[in-house]
A and B are shown apart, each in its own frame.
Chain A
Amino acid sequence: MSAIAPTPTSIPAPSAHGAFPVPQPLLNDFVLTVATVNGSGSQSANAVLFRAIFQMGVPVSGKSIFPSNIQGLPTWYTLRVNKEGWIARRADVDLLVALNPESVAEDLRALPSGASVILHSDLKSMLKRDDLKVHIVPFGELVAQVCPEVRLRKLVSNMVYVGVVGWLLGIELEEIQKAIVQQFGKKSKAIELNRNAANLGYNWSAEHLQNDRMLQIRRMDANRGKILIEGNAACSLGFLFGGVTVVGWYPITPSSSVIDNLAALLSRYRHDPETGKATYAVVQAEDEIAAIGFVLGAGWAGARAMTATSGPGISLMAEMAGLAYFAEIPAVIVDVQRVGPSTGLPTRTGQQDILKAHFLSHGDCRHPLLIPADPKEAYEFAALSLDLAERLQTLVFLMSDLDLGMNLWSAPRFAYPEKPMDRGKVLSAADLERLKKFERYRDVDGDGIPYRTLPGTRHPLAGYFTRGTGHTPAATYSEKTADWTENLDRLAKKFRAAADLLPAPVVEVESKGDVGLIAYGTSDMAVKEALDLLRREDGDAPGYLRLRGVPFSDAVRRYLERHRIVHVVEQNRDAQLTTLLRMDFPEFASRLRPLLHYDGMPLDAKSVVQKLRQARA
């Protein structure tokens, strides 16, 4: 599972389930896993549970571990409730809802002693342990009572477990009802059917089950002003408000919902109020090569253009990525990272595309990366990526991942962009008339960023010829070595200029000593929790700097200067960001200690703690 196995000397974090002689009730601090079959409609039920807990003001997170198929394979949904707000994935399960005959034996076997189980009565015979608190529920009989239509029963039975779980955990029935309305919107028949199912589950449990109230949700006020959103949807909102105009794409898990959501938002909010015409175009391409081709053509012609994809799509976009770099064309690619080549593990998460995206294509090229850690940043960085692409006239990657993209997160409300859009250095016909001169690739301002004109600009000086071949500052063909190196050096200068335009790294935890830690993206929550745990239990934890982009700014250099040891937490096998840091800061290479996690599951605090303790020993 993890890069380094836990050492026998490591002290396990105290946990209440079964580890202590007198069990204490777990108030707002436990993990619930629902094991079902993919395609059975459990997603809505799980969202209702999530939402009901969220509405009670309790910090909660949800992680869906699902197979790459539409129907029939096992799927798990894990809700973590934590009053302190630690909502990274936690591997131990306190309550299991076991509904899947395929996985039930293994699901039950993996539970810690003393854990609770809600077990489908059909699966009773699979129970081989006597150290679990088991609640057997006849889901089949119950659903038949509320759902006369046989074909809907599989779907509706999920809402029965919502009622059972609600009763067991003390989730207010009213909040469940509210969440159902929110989930099903205007579909009144679905609302009624699901309400009845949840009610039945709740009431039946009250009559038939024992509740020792060891796992309880108690109302808090931690979610005031917060929203619930998936990272991909947050990203779509960023592009909507960032003023995207052309979207080219090809479907691929886990990125498809970025565009599906975006297309829905655009169709709702981006039609001219007078004419009803669209101020955007979304075109589904025949493959990722064409998708990035649309983006380059549109970016060259002046549109704010983007695409979204995942690892295999990135590979197909490689040639065009190099063209964007050399011809200096604004473009944005959202990479929702997933595991492996080809099909790999398309429904598991990771940070395995960092190096590939950064160096994508042939020849010398480096692309700026933006790395959001949460939905708020996914929203902000999406809009920012369009600005940066136009400002820098280059390809910009937004490096999301499946954990952020496809799971529901609670987040602060998004702020309206206060700054006007940055359309970069574009010369108009009037500018050309004034300047009397235009050289497409001349570094006029000393920042490596040249000026461009858009096709359609009515001025005899406006036109130029864009090519991937060697060119002079005046955009004429050249095979002279000096022209080539000067151009490469200017592009490197432009790349360095990007460092100060990207979001600055954030000191999340001040360093007390000379040991620091660098992490990025969705490792954030698990790292923060791990450091908190170490501080409380060991009285010692490294500081933490969160990177939000590549290239690295001077603040990163200073951080490396100040620390004797810097752990780098990454969700990949080969320490990809560490490699970049070592390349750009060779003088500090030996200070960097990669801490790697690459099993496809979202990072959890416990494994970070174990690895940091091991490193200390």
Chain B
Amino acid sequence: MPSAPATPPATAKAPALNRAGLPLTAYRGLPSTLCSGCGHDAITNMIIRASFEMNLEPAQVAKLSGIGCSSKTAAYFLNQSHGFNGVHGRMAAIATGVNLANHTLLNIGVSGDGDTASIGLGQFLHMVRRNVRICYIIENNGVYGLTKGQFSATADKGSTLKRGEVNEMDPIDACALAIEMGCEYVARSFSGDQKQLLNLLKGAMRYDGTALVDVVSPCITFNNHEGSTKSYKFAKEREEALHDVTYVPDYEPFFADYDHGQTHTIDLPDGARIVLKKLDRDYDPSDRVRALELLSRARDEHLFLTGLIYHHKGGPKPLTKQKKLVAEPLATLPQSRTRPSREVLESIMDSLS
């Protein structure tokens, strides 16, 4: 039985409820068992807050993860939701199956850089290519935590391990690959940039298709030293937001003055929007070549650019629409709809005799 959410202290005021009638605490999970100060815990908190502010019904969410420190965090939020901690690098396939069985569920997938970019790279790319509906979060620290500090495939060229080893290879950039595979919503953020992350997560949760949020999330124990490009110090000093990101829910009025050449608006399903407000750079996230060019430069120059890197409608239809599924979840269709009639069998038998 799932344990009940922690009861607030008796002195506290009645907690604020969201439109689903739930307090923020209803979106919490079990206490984290990660190292104190882990970037992943900050992301967990933003998932909880985003879920609360998005008025999600816990029963409509499936939490999915692979294996690794990041994947453990699926137990630390949305305790009332079903969760599935699968095998290493294979969350993408499991998410695909869940999506096919019940396309009314919102899949929130949590993975790591090892889980996604090393062992699970193939599945990740094929999931993106199919456009499976999922809010796919990579908690990216460039290192294997649970096995004590080996490089992952997202480690930057020239970055060093705590024990001194230098990475000679270029990193695998999940965002760039996702764009190549037709992903329509590709974001990068930093676990320490709470406001931006919160808004990008909301957009990803609302997205009808694969939405990727790659979050640099420092590993306090194995990758927070001088020479790391995934440390708090490096990220804080180098983060450059491409734009200011605001998620505007469907029930809030949308002000036309958002749109004065200084902003870029992205329509999400059911009337919600994301508004990107221009900062220093003049960046159009709907230009695929430009996005890839930007990521390539960021890699070569060790820039840490965050924001909605790419959004453009034009990928394949979401998988369950490609498959033209009935409106109800396949999982719970009654026998009357999944077993053809006796006459069908007889006609098939006639054709074979």
Contacts and interface: CB of A to CB of B under 8 A. Distances in A.
Contacts of A19: none
A609 B74 CA distance: 61
19 contacts: A225-B353, A241-B340, A246-B97, A246-B330, A276-B324, A280-B330, A281-B320, A286-B123, A289-B123, A295-B97, A298-B330, A298-B331, A301-B331, A319-B90, A413-B349, A455-B81, A455-B98, A465-B75, A468-B87
Contact of A466 (B3, B83, B346): B83
Ranked nearest first, the 7 interchain pairs of A and B with the lowest CB-CB distance are A297-B97, A293-B93, A302-B331, A303-B101, A243-B338, A301-B101, A297-B94
A463 B81 contact: yes
Contacts of A300: 84, 94, 97-98, 101
Interface in A400-422: 413-414, 416-417, 420-421
Given A301-B62, A413-B353, A278 B324 contact: yes
How many chain A residues sit at the interface, stated as a range, is: 35 or more
B260 interface: no
Interface in B294-353: 319-320, 323-327, 329-333, 335, 337-340, 342, 344-346, 348-349, 352-353
A281 B1 CA distance: 32
Interface stretch (B53-61, B186-194, B267-275, B276-284): B53-61
Contacts of B83: 463-466
Contacts of B95: 297
Nearest to B67: A468
B141 interface: no
A513 to B, nearest CB: 41
Interface string A459-475: 11111111111000010
A269 B351 CA distance: 15
Contact of A281 (B80, B81, B86, B100): B100
Interface in B60-91: 60, 62-64, 74-75, 78-87, 90
B2 A455 contact: no
Interface of A: 225-229, 237, 240-246, 248, 269-270, 272, 275-283, 285-287, 289-305, 319-320, 323, 327, 413-414, 416-417, 420-421, 437-439, 453-469, 474, 476-477
B199 interface: no
A278 B2 CA distance: 35
B34 interface: no
Contact of B2 (A225, A301, A417, A461): A461
B102 interface: yes
Contact of B59 (A248, A282, A456, A468): A456
Contacts of A243: 335, 338-339
Contact of A293 (B60, B94, B104, B345): B94
A228 B339 contact: no
A572 to B, nearest CB: 29
Contacts of A476: 3
A297 to B, nearest CB: 2
A270 to B, nearest CB: 7
B87 A245 contact: no
Contacts of A305: 97, 101
Given A297-B93, A298-B101, A456-B59, A421 B330 contact: no
Contact of A241 (B3, B323, B332, B339): B339
A459 B335 CA distance: 24
B186 to A, nearest CB: 21
B86 A296 contact: yes
A278 B324 CA distance: 6
B85 A437 contact: no
B330 A296 contact: no
A278 B85 contact: no
Contacts of B90: 289-290, 293, 319-320
B326 A279 contact: yes
A275 B326 contact: yes
A241 B62 contact: no
Contacts of B93: 248, 285, 289-294, 296-297
Interface in B1-42: 1-3
B87 A454 contact: no
Contact of A414 (B97, B325, B335, B345): B345
A461 B340 contact: no
Contact of B337 (A279, A282, A437): A279
Nearest to A297: B97
A270 B349 CA distance: 17
Contact of A227 (B60, B329, B349): B349
Contacts of B337: 272, 279
Given A280-B338, A465-B74, 9 more contacts: A243-B335, A289-B90, A290-B122, A297-B97, A319-B90, A416-B346, A456-B60, A457-B59, A468-B86
B152 interface: no
Contact of B96 (A275, A294, A457, A461): A294
A237 B349 CA distance: 10
B122 A286 contact: yes
B323 A278 contact: yes
